[in-house]
């Protein structure tokens, strides 16, 4: 495929990079290990204005000796005869689906990564058993790659463990059990669903109704008494991406890098992205998007909040909110509205909507959809028609306000933060906006919080064709939910809708 993104350059050229020492001083005035509290910021990138930058050992596709297991699904896809020839239920009829999971790998994502890993067995089985309105099997040939929200910002380097490499949109195809050092002492975030390392034969997982590129004996990884397939086991090992990634999460830019047509993993004999395949994007994060093109913004004090411990403006994750979102109204009583800014402090949302709509949908002629598992209130009701989108709770109850004192639910503070001596003004400095949702554990204790996803929300909703169920191409579920069953159902529903729209 030819790369023809509109204005696609990874970062602007920077004539002078910000000093790591200066950034460290800005970030850590009290000697605090910022990645431990998910406050690590992002500085300039060492990347110049090249079209694409490869990180790590990602090679894309499968090596020649690894193509055997997936050859059946590849051949059946090619034998479908081209556009209009595939009739559901007939032998050899397959529909190609390419799914990108962008997983936040910053310090606060341990429980959320576990929930994601637990959801993969149901996800694989639902896709394998997907049927159309007539009950005929759809026949999916699926590629799934997993990457992180870490775009390798310079300011995070002082807090990065030895041996860790930011993915920068590249697939991470190594089982989490083989990189436990990335979990910052919380290995259970990986090992509960990945007790033994299981990984695909390439940088991404491929599977259809009967085969995959994963070699593993059946095993029960979710404790329900039913053995999971090798593909489900591999995804459960890839979902937990670690807890040492940059705390200035950039899921939109990571997504764009992942689907760059000229990336190595999108080339070769078996590329991740396939011409004509439906493209699905799944983003899992608990913070605001901070996809930055101009490294100088990280040294701009006008984007900092005042640190109540020092009384001076200092860098924190609030920079992402301040640089990327504009709100109307009073934050104390609740903002009237908050929207993505049109300023060039971060990459504009239009960069991502243009790529997905003008390029993927209109130029390439492919269906595209997005699922966000993000900082919106828990969903309390779903539509009964595909894609089973949220109808109550979630974005319908999302509000924007500054951090409120008092214990949740009367205020925004949760007990773990209060026990650390934190006040509402500390959290306001840290994030720039109050929480979009608050998570509970099985005992009912409030355990974590997530920031409202304004930029992600606008990107996702731009994909909707209209306001009907059939025109839905965006689902937003809560990262604070106790499980992601609703997100899996919505994802499966989106696959069903986009597959049916591609049928003759």
The pLDDT assigned to 500 comes to 79
The pLDDT assigned to 224 comes to 86
Task: Check whether 176 has a pLDDT greater than 90.
Answer: yes
| Confidence label for 239 from pLDDT (cuts 50, 70 and 90) | very high
Q: In the chain, how long is the greatest CA-to-CA distance?
A: 69
Helix (H) or strand (E) holding 237: helix 230-238
The pLDDT assigned to 157 comes to 82
* Among the ranges given (57-61, 102-106, 231-235, 341-345), the one the predictor scored with the smallest mean pLDDT: 57-61
Mean pLDDT for the stretch of residues 398-403: 97
The pLDDT assigned to 159 comes to 83
- CA dist 137 and 496 (Å) reads 11
Cα dist. 392→284, 383, 397, 453, 476 in Å? 20, 9, 8, 18, 12
Burial status of residue 161 (CB atoms within 10 A of its CB: 0-12, 13-18, 19 or more): exposed
The pLDDT assigned to 77 comes to 36
| Confidence label for 299 from pLDDT (cuts 50, 70 and 90) | confident
The pLDDT assigned to 156 comes to 83
* Among the ranges given (9-18, 227-236, 269-278, 467-476), the one the predictor scored with the smallest mean pLDDT: 9-18
Mean pLDDT for the stretch of residues 27-54: 32
Mean pLDDT for the stretch of residues 87-97: 68
Residues 209, 139 contacting (CB under 8 angstroms): yes
The pLDDT assigned to 199 comes to 97
The pLDDT assigned to 63 comes to 35
| pLDDT tens-place string over residues 419-443 | 999 999 999 999 999 999 999 888 8
The pLDDT assigned to 297 comes to 86
Mean pLDDT for the stretch of residues 28-39: 31
Mean pLDDT for the stretch of residues 343-364: 96
Return phi, psi of residue 338, to 5°.
-135, 130
Mean pLDDT for the stretch of residues 97-119: 96
Q: Which alpha helices (H) appear in 245-362, and where do they start and end?
A: 251-258, 318-324, 349-353
pLDDT > 90: what percent of the chain? 72
Mean pLDDT for the stretch of residues 282-294: 95
Strands 95-103 and 278-284, bridge-based pairing: parallel
The pLDDT assigned to 443 comes to 84
Task: Check whether 73 has a pLDDT greater than 60.
Answer: no
- CA dist 412 and 390 (Å) reads 24
Task: Check whether 8 has a pLDDT greater than 70.
Answer: no
Which range is most confident: 129-133, 160-164, 226-230? 226-230
pTM of this structure: 0.85
Average pLDDT score, the chain: 84
Task: Check whether 128 has a pLDDT greater than 80.
Answer: yes
Helix (H) or strand (E) holding 280: strand 278-284
- CA dist 159 and 148 (Å) reads 17
Residues 6 or more apart in contact with residue 270 via CB below 8 angstroms: 61, 62, 67, 70, 74, 202, 206
The pLDDT assigned to 66 comes to 37
305 vs 55, higher pLDDT? 305
Mean pLDDT for the stretch of residues 97-106: 98
Task: Check whether 13 has a pLDDT greater than 60.
Answer: no
Buried b (16+ CB within 10 A) or exposed e, 390-413: beebbbeebebbbbbeeebeeebb
- CA dist 448 and 446 (Å) reads 6
């Amino acid at each position: 495929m030819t790369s023809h993104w509109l204005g696609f350059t990874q970062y602007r050229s920077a004539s002078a990079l910000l000093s790591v020492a200066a950034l460290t001083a800005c970030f850590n005035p009290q000697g605090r290990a910022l990645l431990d509290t998910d406050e690590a910021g992002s500085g300039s990138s060492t990347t110049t204005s090249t079209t694409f930058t490869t990180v790590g050992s990602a090679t894309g596709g499968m090596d020649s000796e690894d193509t055997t297991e997936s050859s059946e699904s590849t051949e059946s896809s090619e034998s479908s005869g081209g556009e209009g020839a595939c009739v559901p239920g007939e032998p050899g009829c397959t529909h190609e689906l390419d799914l990108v999971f962008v997983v936040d790998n910053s310090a606060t994502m341990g429980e959320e990564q576990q929930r994601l890993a637990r959801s993969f067995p149901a996800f694989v089985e639902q896709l394998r058993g997907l049927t159309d309105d007539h009950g005929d099997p759809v026949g999916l040939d699926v590629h799934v790659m997993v990457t992180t929200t870490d775009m390798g910002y310079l300011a995070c380097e002082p807090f990065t463990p030895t041996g860790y490499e930011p993915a920068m949109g590249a697939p991470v195809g190594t089982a989490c059990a083989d990189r436990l050092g990335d979990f910052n002492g919380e290995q259970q975030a990986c090992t509960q669903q990945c007790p033994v390392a299981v990984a695909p034969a390439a940088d991404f997982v491929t599977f259809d109704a009967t085969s995959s590129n994963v070699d593993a004996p059946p095993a029960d990884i979710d404790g329900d008494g039913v053995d999971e397939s090798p593909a489900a086991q591999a995804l459960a090992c890839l979902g937990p991406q670690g807890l040492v990634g940059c705390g200035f999460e950039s899921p939109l830019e990571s997504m764009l890098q992942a689907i760059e047509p000229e990336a190595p993993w999108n080339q070769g004999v078996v590329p991740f992205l396939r011409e004509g395949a439906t493209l699905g994007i799944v983003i899992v994060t608990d913070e605001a998007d901070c996809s930055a093109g101009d490294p100088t913004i990280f040294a701009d004090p006008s984007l900092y909040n005042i640190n109540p411990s020092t009384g001076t403006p200092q860098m924190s994750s609030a920079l992402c909110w301040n640089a990327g979102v504009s709100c109307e109204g009073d934050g104390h009583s609740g903002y009237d509205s908050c929207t993505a800014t049109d300023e060039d402090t971060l990459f504009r949302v239009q960069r991502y909507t243009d790529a997905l709509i003008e390029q993927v949908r209109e130029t390439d002629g492919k269906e595209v959809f997005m699922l966000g598992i993000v900082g919106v209130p828990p969903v309390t009701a779903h539509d009964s028609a595909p894609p089973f989108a949220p109808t109550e709770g979630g974005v319908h109850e999302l509000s924007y306000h500054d951090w409120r004192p008092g214990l949740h639910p009367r205020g925004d503070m949760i007990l773990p933060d209060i026990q650390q001596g934190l006040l509402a003004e500390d959290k306001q400095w840290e994030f720039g906006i109050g929480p979009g949702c608050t998570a509970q554990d099985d005992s009912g204790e409030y355990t974590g919080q997530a920031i409202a996803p304004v930029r992600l929300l606008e990107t996702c909703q731009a994909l909707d064709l209209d306001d009907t169920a059939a025109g839905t191409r965006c689902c937003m579920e809560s990262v604070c939910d106790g499980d992601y069953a609703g997100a899996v159902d919505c994802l499966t529903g989106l696959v069903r809708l986009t597959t049916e729209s591609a049928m003759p």
